[in-house]
Amino acid sequence: MPQHAMVSTDIGNICSVSNSYLRFDEPRSMFAAMSFGNCGYAFPVACGAKVAAPDRPAIAYVGDGAFGISLNELLTCAAREDRCDGGGVQQRAVGLQRRRTTSTSTHGASRP
């Protein structure tokens, strides 16, 4: 990870694990949805962090399901011609959402 990076994480399995392992040396470096469940949080927060601190790299750590919710923010960055570097994790699973809505889950709705 680049030095002085600002990282935002979304909800989901990948981000829950990353919240346990990321370490930072300066304040205002970690932005996480934590347990509020606001899917689609990470990318717009990384964009805002980059606008607030343009000299620092901003990274959004997000799975494919949550990134799909952030497409409007991507269009906003393009329209404003903001530099938006990124990469994605394509799980092809929408893991947490799928797990919580299957008939074998104790957290989600059951299916007939």
Is residue 64 a part of any domain in this protein?
yes
Note the pLDDT tens digit of each residue in 69-80.
Answer: 888 888 887 787
pLDDT value of residue 56: 92
Is residue 112 a part of any domain in this protein?
no
pLDDT value of residue 84: 63
Domain with 52 in it:
6-99
CATH of the domain at 92: 3.40.50.970
Is residue 105 a part of any domain in this protein?
no
- Split into its structural domains, the chain has a count of 1
Is residue 1 a part of any domain in this protein?
no
Is residue 18 a part of any domain in this protein?
yes
Is residue 107 a part of any domain in this protein?
no
pLDDT value of residue 102: 59
Note the pLDDT tens digit of each residue in 46-68.
Answer: 889 988 998 998 888 887 777 77
Is residue 111 a part of any domain in this protein?
no
Answer with the residue of higher pLDDT: 84 or 28: 28
For the chain, what is the HEC assignment? CCCCCEEEECCCHHHHHHHHHCCCCCCCCEEECCCCCCCCCHHHHHHHHHHHCCCCCEEEECEHHHHHHCHHHHHHHHHHCCCCCCCCECCCCCHHHHHCCCCCCCCCCCCC
